[in-house]
A and B are shown apart, each in its own frame.
Chain A
Amino acid sequence: MTDTRTPRAMPAAAPVKQSAPPRAGRLRRARSVTVPAAVLLVLALLPYSAVEIPVLLDGPVNSPGSLQLFALCLVFGALALGYDLMFGRTGLLSFGHALYIAGGAYGTQLAMAELGLGLLPAALLTLVLGTVAALVLGAISLRTLALGGVGFAMVTLAFAQAGAIWVERNPGGLTGGEEGLPLYTDGVPAALVGVQNTVHIYWLALAYLALVATVVWIATARPVGRVWQGIRDNEQRVAVLGRSPFAYKLGAFTLASALALLGGVLHLLVTAGATPHTSTSEFTLTLLVMAVLGGSGTRWGPIVGGVLFTYLDQRLGGWNLGVEPMLILGALFVIAVYAAPGGITALGRRRSS
């Protein structure tokens, strides 16, 4: 059985940054702060614009409908980036990420509705319990790497499926089954409830994306990120150098899961409810597709992929094309694997250089 994590099978490895001359390095470092800061500023000011963009948007940019769409796009951009911490950075093909997203959404909802907690304590409790669960399940799942990367993929899928079954079964009327649950608004601050407050939700989603990007970018730039990259490219080499690949992989898994749990809370707030779709294996697969579509293992790729995919997924249905959005998106993805092996962001880079 050959290793599925062969270097040539990797989607366009990130260029080695240390080899650049010092001045270019300083320039790059300056750019690496100014570009995200500029993007963040533009996105933060977006709700002050009332521009109408026909076809692309139903209402003006600052209408609640558009802002809700943007917020959803940002949340998925962040979720895809968090997922890529495992897939693109560490080479762990997990099919169970949905478990932690659904866990964040349902956990927070249930902690508010059943325990009477406020949004913040409920989210915090979910985050702590969920991260402990991720640590345990991650440790179990990583043992199956003896079967090759695919064993890990399938075991994470199976654990996530247990969560999906639990949600669908609606035990004790807790999860609402196929209907899902409407957001328990009593626990949520008034500034985050109602259509007129969509702008606050949007800013919260933006803050979440900024947080995930900061955590992922800083972590991957630090020594731990180099070890992850080493594991991705050649795990044996890392083991020979005296680092325990298991601990680093578990670290990547747990960090990604914690970010996903928080993402679940955001998904709950943006969609104003816990939807069973977040627990399905298809949900994880779409995150994988987003990361690869945009450019896995790169800074911006997963974000671009997540935003674009979510936008199309939401809007294609409204354009009356007579087909399911997922048919177009799935086919688009298959084409992208051949036409843009490094993702959309790599395509732009190739053209500009």
Chain B
Amino acid sequence: MDTLVLLTLTGLGLGALYFLIASGLALIFGLMDVLNFAHGAFLTVAGYTAWRTAETVGGVPGLLLAAVVGTVTGLALAVVVELVLIRRLYGRVREQILVTVGLSLAIPAAVQTVWGADARTFPVPDALSGTVGVLGARVPVNRFLLIAVAVLVLFGVQLFLTRTRYGLIVRAGVEDRAMVTALGIDVTRAFTLVFALGGALAGLAGVLGGIYFGSLSPHQGTSLLIFAFVVVIIGGLGSIPGVALSALSVGLVQQYANYYAGGYGDLAVIILLAAVVLARPKAGTDSPLLRLRRALTAPRAQSAGGTA
């Protein structure tokens, strides 16, 4: 029992981390069709600036400041990349993806040049490095921190998307970019905004990833990114609740399989992905998850239509 509790909470913590990474990816992809390969690199850079901050300041204030610094780093990096590189290739989706591929190779190499290839220990204050007893299991505190942050982010992003004017433009842009542009709304502004939001989420994920794994390395972001990709495919592209659901299932499957199937959690996730892909019968039809989501969100869509 206590093992199951520990596994579940650890899986939920990992799922929370995946959600933070995947939600940024899904937003950017949903609106701009850009598969942002540099997302993992943003995460890595943010993780390292957060690590430097936490090292210098120390303790819980250091960690809080590190979270802010990491998030701002991710945000700033994303805004610069969007304004300087992505925007110029407006409408050329393939080139936009290629640019992020180039960045995904260059940025980890830059990080490695500055801070070396060896993994660094992420300083976690005593308040967060302990464990808590839950139903007889000793669960590390940081798992709860991750879950709490992910839930906050989920609600924050949902509120932003459903309750603000910019959110409305972004959602409309995800649905039909051409129509929104035809209505005279500046979608490029929404692009920058979504890219910034994605970068901030990647930055936050970089800090939390440092806490979760207790260490940092130049290519950590890239390997996490691959699981975020898997989460995004399973969850359906361009939907935040779908991504949240699939992030949880991927995190849990990975943890359970790691324990019960002899350390092959990573492979179990890939098998899950293949199963989901095969369960989606034909072009144009939805995944079972998507259908479930639609059933859950249908009434709300109606009321939103009434107020808009």
Q: Which residue numbers of A lie inside 8 Å of B, CB to CB?
A: 1-2, 4-6, 8-11, 93, 140, 143-148, 150-151, 153-155, 157-159, 161-162, 165-166, 169, 281-282, 285-286, 288-289, 292, 322-327, 329-331, 333-334, 337-338, 341
Residue of A nearest to B278 (CB): A140
Known: A1-B237, A327-B109. A338 touches B88 (CB 8 A): yes
Known: A150-B35, A324-B110. A2 touches B98 (CB 8 A): no
A285-B104, A324-B112, A325-B109 known, 7 other contacts, Cβ within 8 Å: A1-B237, A158-B270, A285-B37, A288-B98, A288-B101, A289-B101, A334-B103
Cα(A327)–Cα(B110), bound, Å: 6
**CB-CB < 8 A to B55: which residues of A?**
none
Interchain residue pairs with CB less than 8 A apart (16):
A4-B94, A6-B93, A9-B91, A140-B278, A146-B283, A150-B237, A154-B229, A157-B226, A158-B226, A158-B233, A159-B270, A169-B264, A289-B105, A333-B98, A337-B98, A341-B95
Given A324-B112, A324-B113, A155–B99 Cβ distance below 8 Å? no
Bound: A157/B226 CA distance, A: 8
Interface residues of B (CB under 8 A from A): 29, 33, 35, 37, 85, 88-89, 91-95, 97-99, 101-110, 112-113, 177, 222, 226, 229-230, 232-233, 237-238, 263-264, 266-267, 270, 273-274, 277-278, 280, 282-285
Q: How far is the CB of A172 from chain B (nearest CB, A)?
A: 12
Contacts of A323 in B (CB 8 A): 109-110, 113
Cβ-defined contact, B106 with A326, below 8 A: yes
Q: Min CB distance, A219 to chain B, in Å?
A: 23
Closest 9 CB pairs of A and B: A330-B106, A330-B105, A324-B109, A326-B109, A327-B109, A146-B283, A334-B102, A333-B102, A9-B94
Among B93, B103, B238, the one with the most A-chain Cβ atoms within 10 Å of its Cβ is B93
Work out how many contacts link A and B, with CB atoms closer than 8 A.
Answer: 143
Point out which of A8, A153, A157, A324 has the most chain B C-beta atoms below 10 A from its C-beta.
A324
B105 nearest CB neighbor, chain A only: A330
Chain A at the B interface: SS class: helix
Could you tell me if A161 and B226 are in contact, using CB atoms closer than 8 angstroms? yes
Given A146-B284, A162-B270, residue A330 in contact with residue B109 (CB < 8 A): yes
A154 and B102 contact, Cβ closer than 8 Å, known pairs A8-B91, A324-B110, A326-B109? no
Contacts of B102 on A, CB cut-off 8 Å?
289, 330-331, 333-334, 337
